[in-house]
A and B are shown apart, each in its own frame.
Chain A
């Protein structure tokens, strides 16, 4: 039975019946479904299913060429689109415990709809601020019709120090010949336990470029997926991740090649400090029939502390013969030669370390298409590294 309180909240939010029913159906599934599986990472004891107490609206300026609006506005204004795409095509409510929880308890979100043949020159920027006194169940739904082209930049931060939970899902529908560049800088707070799921469904000759800076300070489960359905579809996935203090993170980055001649490249770099733990699973799955597909991945982890633990696991599942697939993985320590070189110019050890780390992340950073995001991410990385270095001192 769905809680009365949730019904009250949804009703007060003037949600249509079909949406409340969707919440209800999902709610009934929560107990029945399993947690998402992150190989070699155990988080069964994490408490991640709190009830929400209110709906948070996102004020957004309306645009002429495309639709950008609060998701609850969208439910009322564009019910057909939401019914068709929201937790229905790219990610489904019944996939696991967290997707069901998300669908039941959604309390914040954004809807972006870009009509056919629309090219948006200026990047669309969304700044999401979680208030730590409330669970953050946030959804971003992006529907790109055929022949569209745009960049979407998403930032997330936390206000307040209370213990909180975040469950954030991003769905991208990239139709034929669309070109989407999605960049995220995640900076949720130290006491926030997060589940982040981002997935794109990529159509014929469409391209989705992901640049993700996973800079959360709290425990995090991340699931970054790309389904390359269309022939000639293409995705580049870049993830940089820094963990510090006693933080624990499990990251699954998966590409599934369904389409012929589809291309999926994963490039992940993690820096682990203090007593933190990071597991990078890179999953490349080529489905039978996806001839000419290309799946390559690199997963690298740099250890800054002997007490930190890191794993980089490439997992290739290939059910087709005519493909190109490869992987590289490493877990290593800072290059002493680079450190010595920088220090021989008078740069102190900590600054030199941060520079070497940026060098290690550089491969991925240079591939981020927006200069602005790149610079911002560099700043965030500096901040996180400095904090991490301070923690190791104490």
Chain B
């Protein structure tokens, strides 16, 4: 069993034009174990993506207070690639496009990066695993010979993120709005992929605006984030309640002084 713990996390982001910093996360606490699926819901601009990018190690986000622990060990000083090899994975909202590097070659490099030099994955094993996962995600073979995300549609990019998840098999996956821009069929396929990962060795933190995704990936725990903090934690039915009452209702009930960006 692995654990991921976020303790009193404060994060600032740099505004490169104005040379100023703005605090986005104002004391986030969160603990999860493998075997669990957590969802973070919250209105726009509340710091959900900041949380996932900070856990992964994007250098534009500056931790000013608090800690992030993976299996009890602080990862704050580790660069992004080391965190990945320790078992973290971030399915990104806007994956980069890289010409000249095929999807298949990239996947092999990613898998081999976490294996010792003398135990690299064989071509046969790799292809077998790849075929299985392509089928599961209803993706065509030709996707693997195309350049990484280059010219992929929004839906193809999301599927490709999940393909990487299935191939790399991390302990913890942070899924940042993998439902955005997906039609219902693609949403089902992506959810099927994530659900296939469910095991005692896998945990996921799903970031989403909408409850819709959670109909397909049932979370064990739901957190609501507002104003840079987690303000409420509950079971799956919390998401349903939010869908009915909206974030404003919960905010008022909790008596929070938080402005919702979409409120005007």
Contacts and interface: CB of A to CB of B under 8 A. Distances in A.
Contacts of A356: 98
A316 to B, nearest CB: 27
Contacts of A352: 81
B256 interface: no
Interface string B105-122: 010011001100000000
Given A351-B109, A355-B106, A355-B109, A344 B100 contact: no
A46 interface: no
B101 A359 contact: yes
B168 interface: yes
A335 interface: yes
B100 A358 contact: yes
A184 to B, nearest CB: 20
Interface string A345-388: 11111011001101111110110000000000000000000000
A340 B110 contact: no
A362 B102 CA distance: 11
A343 B147 contact: no
Contacts of A342: 96, 98, 106
A368 to B, nearest CB: 12
A347 B98 contact: no
Nearest to B115: A346
Given A355-B106, A355-B109, A346 B101 contact: no
Nearest to A356: B98
A356 B147 CA distance: 12
Given A355-B106, A355-B109, A343 B79 contact: yes
Interface string B51-65: 000001111000000
Contact of B81 (A338, A344, A363): A344
Contacts of A365: 100
Interface in B66-102: 79-81, 84-85, 89-90, 92, 95-101
Contacts, number: 81
A348 B59 CA distance: 15
B122 to A, nearest CB: 19
Given A351-B109, A355-B106, A362-B147, A344 B99 contact: no
Q: What's the interface size class on B, roughly? A: 20 to 34
A343 B81 contact: yes
B99 to A, nearest CB: 4
A337 interface: yes
A341 interface: yes
A153 B92 CA distance: 42
B171 interface: no
A80 B80 CA distance: 66
B46 interface: no
Contact of B110 (A337, A347, A349, A363): A347
Contact of B100 (A337, A345, A347, A366): A366
Contacts of A366: 99-100
Nearest to A381: B100
B129 to A, nearest CB: 15
Contacts of B144: none
B147 A345 contact: no
Contacts of A335: 96
B56 to A, nearest CB: 6
A345 B113 contact: yes
Nearest to B94: A337
Interface string B140-152: 0000000110000
Which one of B58, B59, B113, B114 has the greatest number of beta carbons of chain A within 10 Å? B113
A346 B58 CA distance: 13
B84 A344 contact: yes
B164 A345 contact: yes
B58 A340 contact: yes
Interface of B: 56-59, 79-81, 84-85, 89-90, 92, 95-101, 106, 109-110, 113-114, 147-148, 164, 168
5 contacts: A335-B96, A338-B98, A346-B84, A348-B113, A356-B98
Given A337-B96, A345-B110, A349-B79, 10 more contacts: A335-B96, A338-B97, A340-B58, A344-B57, A344-B90, A345-B89, A346-B84, A359-B99, A359-B100, A362-B100
